[in-house]
Amino acid sequence: MASKWDWKSGEGVSQVDDPAEVDAAFERGEWPLGSAVIGLAFNCSLAEASPRIVRAMQLPDRDQRGFAFTAAGAAARLNGELTPELYAALRAEGPGGVAEHPIRDTLTFVPFRKLPPWFKRRWVFVTVRNKLEGWWLRSEDAVADAWRVLRGRRS
């Protein structure tokens, strides 16, 4: 049976819905595996997609590795949770790099009670930082408004 996906050009592989097809592509050393695991994140269960996403996060191609991290973020959005292996892979990569947006997706779409300890600490840090930044920006606006009013009265 011919494959529905063109592994040479990458055409359509982001719609893969067969974990066995992705496993075979890993064995053949195909390059668009990061794109393929995005399809798995959307079309398969978390349990089926997770080991393949983690494996794709270790690909040598930087762009395909980035797609694998995107797949982890999509899995968090769709399932409201991740597997322990995906949490570990995101933590190992850490914020600030290719895992920044998947970590933010996880903090946004996974309930706090389901997060492992590192992600809970990250959630608290991000929440406090965002609140302080909001207060700072509002205080800057208030000072700027007051300064405009004072300058307007002197003229």
Q: Which of 19, 24, 98 is nearest to 57 (CA)?
A: 98
CA quadruple 137, 142, 148, 154: dihedral sign: negative
CB 59 within 8 A of CB 88: no
The verdict on pTM exceeding 0.85 is no
**Spatial CA neighbour of 19 closest among 3, 2, 39:** 39
d(CA 103, CA 101): 5
pLDDT (0 to 100) of residue 154: 59
Give residues with Cβ within 8 angstroms of 75, minimum separation 6.
41, 46, 49, 50, 53, 82, 86
Q: What is the mean pLDDT of each run of 10 residues along the chain (155 residues)?
A: 71 89 92 92 96 95 93 96 97 93 96 96 93 90 88 69
Give residue 20's pLDDT.
93
Predicted pLDDT of residue 2: 46
User: In this structure, is the dihedral angle defined by the CA atoms of residues 90, 93, 94 and 98, taken in order, positive or negative?
Assistant: negative
Torsion, CA 13, CA 8, CA 57, CA 126, rounded to 10: -50
